[in-house]
């Protein structure tokens, strides 16, 4: 089976003069394979397409994909949005009594599957011009788990509760006080219970429009778990949360699955490994198609995902495996000090940050960990010169490149215009194209307007722009936000590789343990009372820093025997108790 997909947001016929039509061999033989559609955009006849790939290579914007799929998948198509448009194959099925996870890249149908499982969308089985009825859908899935599940949903025997993916859009839907929103869904859990559980004492007093990303996420989670439902859907529940909050939410979600159906989409692999039992991998191509695999035990699923090859399905979805190092490998690295600082502090009316004396070495990448509202971003801003310390001084003769936590696009032009405006020479270099642009997959974004980029696209562009500037220290605040699991690991390797090969230094603030494990040589640890006072310590070597941090979080990590990746020990397990008794929270050797 061959499918042709036109990514219409990338197609720009006026710029390329429809080269795809000119060179199509079927057009030259008189067969109308490619015709002009609405707005002058090409349309591809899938029935006549021979899959020669000429149109794909001639298109300068990567707007066309010709994809070969096994013929047996024809019977597994669940939904198609239109001619030459995204299609989804197979559906996951949540099971009562356990947490079902979904793992896969962005733009591949995970959220679409949630909408079908919750009854919001009825699968069209590929019949986008003549959609089937619910009865026809049930007949199609007769004799399968999907049939039994969807029948209960359609017959209103299952009540559903969904935590949406984009919590930053909630203030556009509900602008009133947080307390009014939560009182509307006060069913299985009382308002007082959920406020105490998710530490919403301050947020509950404000309007939705006044909340931070982390507060919006916790309010969305509160509204979801308060409802008395049979099936709970959590779409990226860890976004915006620090590691303390992620562990707490994971424990809550895990406890809910005892007598309910719970299904979770999550890009933080450590958290997914901690809370899920079975995981569905999703393979495919962004914006083109997605295929749900058969469920695997969580450890096996994550290991397959990192390996990039699904043996049972005989599908290779990545050209190379992702590997972790017990101690990040550094070749010929001699520590030479770049920047030293004495004790510095910054005071606000209701918050004080104190950072103990420390230093940054040439070529060193320092991970910065700690809870939200503890001063990590304030420290990075002081290094960047955006915020001045109240006490102490910093050497601002050192050139700094800074990627802030919250990215607000303010460039009205394409991505390629952005790079040509600020870093033209380095942007055109072989190093940038090979070591930064390629792993961050910038090629497909170059012709897009910066103002129209999604959160993940804007994050990748911002990371690349930060790394492209000429600087001695690169400061990146939460670079993993909005990125899927694969993009996070590619970004971590890109940052680390850039520092090593160019002999530069970096400080990275993040909450994803996998990301920090891959990118960091050493750690700074921030502690204190969030929102009131914070103390920054270090840098320490990785083991000492992570032990200090994980002791506060009260979790221990081990290494996976096959992939060497970090895995959270189950609280109270034998290994967890043994490592805590030795004070070894960060991997047992």
- What is the predicted pLDDT for the residue at 58? 76
Average pLDDT over residues 480-492: 92
Average pLDDT over residues 134-161: 94
Candidate from 134-138, 169-173, 325-329, 408-412 with smallest mean pLDDT: 325-329
Omega cis (within 30) before 212: no
Question: CA-CA distance, 484 to 85, in Å (whole number)?
Answer: 22
pLDDT higher than 80, residue 154: yes
Instruction: State the pLDDT confidence band at 322, using cuts at 50, 70 and 90.
Output: confident
For the chain, the structural domain boundaries read 2-68, 341-541, 554-589
- What is the predicted pLDDT for the residue at 83? 77
The helix (H) or strand (E) run that includes residue 284 is strand 278-285
- Over the chain, what is the mean pLDDT? 88
Question: CA-CA distance, 520 to 401, in Å (whole number)?
Answer: 18
Instruction: State the pLDDT confidence band at 24, using cuts at 50, 70 and 90.
Output: confident
Instruction: State the pLDDT confidence band at 19, using cuts at 50, 70 and 90.
Output: confident
Instruction: State the pLDDT confidence band at 332, using cuts at 50, 70 and 90.
Output: low
- The pTM (predicted TM-score) of the whole model is 0.84
Express as a percent the part of the chain with pLDDT over 70.
90
Average pLDDT over residues 514-542: 92
Instruction: Give the tens place of pLDDT for each residue, 169-209.
Output: 888 888 889 999 999 999 988 999 999 999 999 889 899 98
Residue among 174, 194, 337, 162 at smallest CA distance from 265:
162
- What is the predicted pLDDT for the residue at 335? 74
The dotted CATH code for 341-541 is 3.40.50.300
How many of the other CB atoms lie within 10 Å of CB of 417? 15
CATH 3.40.50.300 correct for 2-68:
no
Coil, helix or strand at residue 289: strand
């Amino acid at each position: 089976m061959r499918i042709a997909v036109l990514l219409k947001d990338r197609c720009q016929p006026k710029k390329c003069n429809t080269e795809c039509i000119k060179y199509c061999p079927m057009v030259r033989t008189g067969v109308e394979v490619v015709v002009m559609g609405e707005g002058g955009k090409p349309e591809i006849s899938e029935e006549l397409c021979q899959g020669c790939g000429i149109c794909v290579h001639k298109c300068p914007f990567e707007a066309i994909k010709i994809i070969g799929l096994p013929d047996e998948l024809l019977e597994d198509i669940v939904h198609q949005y239109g001619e030459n448009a995204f299609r989804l194959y197979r559906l996951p099925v949540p099971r009562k009594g356990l947490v079902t996870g979904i793992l896969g890249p962005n733009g591949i149908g995970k959220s679409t599957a949630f909408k079908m499982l919750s009854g919001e969308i009825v699968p069209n089985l590929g019949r986008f011009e003549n959609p089937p009825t619910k009865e026809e859908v049930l007949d199609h899935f007769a004799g399968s788990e999907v049939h039994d599940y969807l029948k209960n949903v359609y017959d209103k025997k299952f009540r559903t509760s969904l935590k949406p993916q984009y919590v930053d859009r909630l203030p556009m839907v509900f602008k009133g006080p947080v307390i009014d929103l939560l009182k509307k869904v006060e069913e299985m859990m009382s308002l007082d219970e959920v406020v105490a559980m998710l530490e919403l004492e301050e947020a509950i007093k404000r309007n939705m429009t006044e909340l931070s990303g982390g507060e919006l996420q916790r309010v969305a989670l509160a509204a979801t778990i308060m409802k008395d439902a049979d099936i709970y859907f959590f779409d990226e529940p860890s976004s915006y949360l620090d590691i303390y909050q992620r562990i707490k939410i994971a424990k809550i979600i895990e406890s809910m699955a005892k007598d309910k159906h719970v299904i979770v989409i999550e890009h933080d692999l450590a958290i997914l490994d901690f809370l899920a039992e079975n995981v569905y991998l999703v393979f495919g191509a962004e914006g083109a198609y997605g295929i749900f695999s058969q469920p695997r035990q969580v450890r096996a699923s994550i290991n397959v995902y990192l390996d990039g090859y699904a043996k049972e399905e005989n599908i290779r979805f990545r050209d190379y495996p992702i590997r972790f190092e017990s101690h990040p490998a550094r070749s010929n690295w001699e520590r030479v000090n770049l920047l030293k600082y004495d004790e510095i502090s910054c005071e606000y009316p209701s918050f004080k940050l104190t950072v103990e004396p420390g230093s940054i070495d040439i070529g060193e990448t320092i991970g910065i960990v700690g809870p939200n509202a503890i001063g990590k971003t304030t420290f990075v801003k002081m290094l960047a010169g955006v915020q001045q310390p109240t006490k102490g001084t910093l050497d601002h003769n050192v050139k700094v490149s800074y990627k802030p936590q919250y990215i607000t696009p303010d460039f009205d032009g394409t991505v390629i215009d952005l790079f040509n405006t600020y870093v033209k020479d380095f942007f055109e270099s072989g190093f940038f194209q090979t070591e930064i642009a390629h792993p961050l997959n910038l090629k497909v974004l170059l012709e897009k307007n910066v103002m129209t980029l999604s959160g993940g696209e804007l994050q990748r562009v911002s990371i690349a722009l930060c790394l492209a500037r000429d600087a001695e220290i690169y400061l990146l605040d939460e670079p993993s936000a909005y990125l899927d699991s694969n993009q996070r690991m590619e970004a971590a390797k890109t940052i680390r590789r850039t520092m090593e090969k160019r002999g530069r230094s970096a400080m990275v603030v993040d909450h994803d343990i996998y990301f920090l494990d891959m990118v960091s040589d050493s750690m700074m640890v921030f502690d204190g009372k969030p929102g009131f006072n914070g103390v920054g310590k270090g840098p320490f070597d990785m083991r000492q820093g992570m032990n200090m941090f994980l002791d506060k979080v009260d979790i221990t990590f081990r290494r996976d025997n096959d992939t060497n990746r970090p895995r959270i020990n189950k609280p109270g397990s034998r290994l967890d108790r043994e490592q805590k008794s030795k004070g070894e929270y960060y991997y047992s050797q």
